[in-house]
Amino acid sequence: MNLRRTTLIVAAFLFVGAVNLSAQDDKFGAVDTVFIEPYKIDALNWGINVSLFNDEEIIALSIPLTFSDGKNRIVADSTIFTGGLVENFKVKEARSDTAMQCLTIGLINDIGVSVPPLPPGRGRIATVFVSSIDKKEISSLKVDTTTTPPSNTLLLVKQPSDPLVPALVIKAPAKSEKK
């Protein structure tokens, strides 16, 4: 009886794992992707372009980012959405957490019907500006995704009941030429 029960439990775990893996595939088109592109402005300031490729309509986005430069303390001090794909969204928030060195971008097109969903396409969502708190040179900005309180994860929403976890591509910063 124990062997039968153990086999059933293992089979259930394998089934749940397979369902979770298949839920991350986009069976109806290309994989939706968030692109992160850090670039150096000067010794103390960097920018991070956040872009999106989506092949279906999107009504909301959650993009939590973490950034670091070794022991150098840095902060995301401003974010702009002007000129981007989500410029007309009703809710555009960028919440920075200096202690955790992270930023959560939250976007909702509209609760009503006055703003249409983000159509399929490709383009910039936002530009985040990062600076050194201690006025030390930012030598190598590292950016990644994370989970920020209260459980914000990288997520696109097609419909309220249909969230989608996009792929994440982090591009290496261009090497600056020394003069």
With a cut of 70, say whether residue 72 has pLDDT above it: yes
Structural domains of the chain ordered from first start = 29-170 (2.60.40.680)
Please give the average per-residue pLDDT across 55-84, as a whole number.
93
pLDDT over 60 (residue 103): yes
Q: What are the tens digits of pLDDT across the range 43-66?
A: 999 999 999 999 999 999 999 999
Q: Considering only the C-alpha atoms of the chain, give the largest distance between any 2 of them, rounded to a whole number of Å.
A: 75
Average pLDDT across the chain, whole number = 84
Neighbouring CB atoms inside 10 A of 8's CB total: 10
Distance separating alpha carbons of residues 126 and 84, to the nearest angstrom: 6
Q: Which two tokens stand for residue 135?
A: 């006025």
Confidence band (pLDDT; 50, 70, 90) for 21? very low
Banded model confidence at residue 159, pLDDT cuts 50, 70, 90: confident
